[in-house]
Structure 1
Amino acid sequence: MPEVIFPGPEGRLEGRYHPQKEKDAPIAIVLHPHPQFGGTMNNKVVYNLHYAFYNLGFTVLRFNFRGVGRSQGEYDQGIGELSDAASALDYLQSMNNNSKHCWVAGFSFGAWIGMQLLMRRPEITGFISVAPPANMYDFSFLAPCPSSGLIINGTSDRVAPPADTRSLVNKLHEQKGITITHTEVEGADHFFQNQHMDTMITSVTDYVKRRLTETSR
């Protein structure tokens, strides 16, 4: 999978780009967890999400936020990271202008950034939000949430407690015109360790497959 360097708001950003042969393949970006707590694009959840999308026929890009790995710049409280994600999507779209579908997936801090990107980019047709930290960050900007998507978390998550995730999902359920699917992985912690990773990725794969089938009818 080619390593790529592309321009970001604060200098170069480092990514991994995985294209499909089909010119009109759907595209997806995958966003990693908190840079100050060891989050990188090589995080296991991010890596597995990347390949789940690739195996579903997507052209996929994951990348390091500013100040992580070989990406230039410094951590910026989520503001700069949102700009990084927008630059990554610009780069991905510039290489795939025939793509009909565009998805964003994020894990933890990356889920928060991904949901903000969703609000700014009407071309995003679906999202995957893995273990969104609704206890740490304000998600009230999702008013209204512009796209249907999947929120998935573990029932034993101590970093982003399930009660806060359920509360976020309930607020989103009140909105009309979109469908928020919520899946809880029984016994999984924040990082979906051991067999829980397979369960989570299977749920994501089934969900995206179903959505793609619906839109192709």
Structure 2
Amino acid sequence: MPEVIFNGPAGRLEGRYQPAADKHAPIAMILHPHPQFGGTMNNKIIYDLFYMFQQRGFTTLRFNFRSIGRSQGEFDHGVGELSDAASALDWVQSLHPEARACWVAGYSFGAWIGMQLLMRRPEIEGFMSIAPQPNTYDFAFLAPCPSSGLIIHGSEDRVAPPTAVQGLVEKLHLQKGILITQKTMEGANHFFQGQEDALIENCSEYLDARLRGELVPDVIKKLK
């Protein structure tokens, strides 16, 4: 798993990168929690998601947002971090121009950044939004959400209350042409303490189903 340094909009960005053997393999980018509350690319959930995608043949990248680890710059309340994510995707795509698709997975703050990136990059065909915080961050930009994906959260989350996440899910369910899969993990808090393995198992099951062509609208299946 090579350590990489690449250029971002505020200076260098530090990442961990695992290329796939197949040049056509899809790309997965994993986005970490809030930089000012201990979030880094070495968060256990981010680390495990990275390997989940890598084990399924994806070219996989996780990186530190600006101001974290060896990444330069200062925290920018989401604006600069979205630019960081776009630059990171540009970088990995420059190395894998024949990649057939992209996925983005984000946890907490990273889920908000990932969903914004999804709106700007039509090549992203799937997402995982783990413990998103619609009570804290504005998700109104999802109008409409362009891709099917997973929203997974805990029933005991006090940072992102289930009622707030449910409101986001219900809004997305109204959109046509995509399929949002929701999973509420009973007893899990925002940090999935004691349930990290169960979280990754749920994410793995979703990803495996998508790779089989499931959990997308029938019209998408026909196009493929």
Calculate the TM-score normalised by the size of structure 1. 0.97
Secondary structure class of the residue paired with 1:125: strand
Number of equivalences: 216
- Quote the residue 2:209 is aligned against: 210
- Quote the residue 1:159 is aligned against: 159
- Pairing of 1:76-155 with structure 2 (within 5 A): 76-155=76-155
5+ residue gaps, structure 2: 214-220
Inter-partner Cα distance in structure 2 for 1:92 and 1:128: 19
Secondary structure class of the residue paired with 1:176: coil
Deviations 1:166-187 (A, max 9, x none): 1100000000010000001111
Residue 139 of structure 1 aligns with an amino acid whose one-letter code is F
Secondary structure class of the residue paired with 2:208: helix
Deviations 1:66-90 (A, max 9, x none): 0000000000010000000000000
How large is the Cα RMSD of the aligned pairs? 1.2
For the pair 1:199 / 2:198, whether they are aligned, the reply is yes
**Kept in 2: contact 1:128–1:151 (CA 8 A):** yes
Q: CA deviation at 1:5?
A: 0.2
Residue 169 of structure 1 aligns with an amino acid whose one-letter code is V
Secondary structure class of the residue paired with 1:62: strand
**Kept in 2: contact 1:56–1:205 (CA 8 A):** no
Inter-partner Cα distance in structure 2 for 1:185 and 1:22: 34
Inter-partner Cα distance in structure 2 for 1:48 and 1:31: 12
Q: CA deviation at 1:57?
A: 1.3
Inter-partner Cα distance in structure 2 for 1:154 and 1:50: 21
Residue 23 of structure 1 aligns with an amino acid whose one-letter code is K
- Pairing of 1:11-90 with structure 2 (within 5 A): 11-90=11-90
49-58 or 5-14, which deviates more:
49-58
Inter-partner Cα distance in structure 2 for 1:213 and 1:7: 35
5+ residue gaps, structure 1: none
Q: CA deviation at 1:198?
A: 1.3
Which aligned segments of 4 or more residues in structure 1 are displaced greater than 6 angstroms?
none
Percent identity between the aligned chains?
66
